[in-house]
Amino acid sequence: MQTKTIRWPAPAKLNLFLYITGQRSDGYHELQTLFQFIKRCDYLTITANSSNNITIAPELKNVPLESNLIYKAATLLKNYASYPYGAHIELEKNLPMGGGLGGGSSDAATTLVALNYHWDLNLSDKILSELGASLGADIPIFIHGKAAIAEGIGEKLSSVEPKKSHYLIAMPDCHVSTPVIFNNPDLKRDTPKLLHHELMNNKWENDCENCVKKHYPEVANTIDWLLEYAPTQLTGTGACVFSTFDHADEAELLAEKTPKWLNCFTSEGLNISPLRELLSTLNKN
């Protein structure tokens, strides 16, 4: 067991495009989406122990421990341990909940990757991804740790290297429910499937955007304001949106111009996640 306390990153992601190509008989939607990471992260400071207990601090407001994805991921992984391993996890929450940046899914993925390391379980990324997928469709991309096109319901990943643009990410003051959007009759569900090279060279759009804008005026107002200055679209099912720039100073300049009601930050796109970078460094030592 690795008992040294380690601060693990749980990075945000952007969906640079998101197309819904159909709906299966079980209700799940078939997707084609492009994931890229950004530098903004939650952090999980983890100390492994032999208590057989998982403790998390601070408690997430309105989220019981048993519903916390970090707790669920750690409990799932304990089934693979032959000893009464436990851990104390300190969560530094920087990513908004319900923002479409993957915060909860990324926290769960980091928990699986980190505890696999701390507890010396040596489970493969494939097994970790299967465990993660049982908790949430976005978790496998964070375990994969490389920019990728995701297909199926998000579980089929193909690594790609999109341009590492600079982004202004805006966080409208609302919480968009993913199930509400995917169950909405207004949602576009019939985009034709394309080959990867076609996807990478087309104009990128998000099939959820019109539906989200229609039902969440805060998102519509944010997108409309930013579109005056730069290409802007929704990430995931929202609520966060991003504007794309070639240079960091262009993103910073717009961030300084934004009105007080528009909460935003800037970040560079990353094709290798900070979690994957840290794990590589630890495994070399």
Q: 13, 72, 78, 213: which one is catalytic?
A: 13
Q: 42, 107, 138, 207: which one is catalytic?
A: 138
CATH fold of 166-270 reads Alpha-Beta Plaits (3.30.70)
13 is catalytic: yes
Question: Between 242 and 26, whose confidence is greater?
Answer: 242
CATH fold of 6-160 reads Ribosomal Protein S5; domain 2 (3.30.230)
Q: Give the mean pLDDT of the chain.
A: 95
- Tell me the CA distances in angstroms from 184 to 6, 187, 208, 233, one per residue in order: 42, 6, 10, 19
Q: What is the pLDDT of residue 97?
A: 79
Give domain limits for the chain: 6-160, 166-270
Tell me the per-residue pLDDT of 91-145, one tens digit each, with 9 for 90 and over: 999 998 778 899 999 999 999 999 999 999 999 999 999 999 999 889 999 999 9
Task: Name the token pair of 13.
Answer: 């992601």
Tell me the per-residue pLDDT of 190-224, one tens digit each, with 9 for 90 and over: 999 999 999 999 999 999 999 999 999 999 999 99
Q: What is the pLDDT of residue 285?
A: 78
249 is catalytic: no
Q: What is the pLDDT of residue 108?
A: 97
Q: What is the pLDDT of residue 43?
A: 98
Q: Cα separation of 158 and 19, whole Å? A: 16
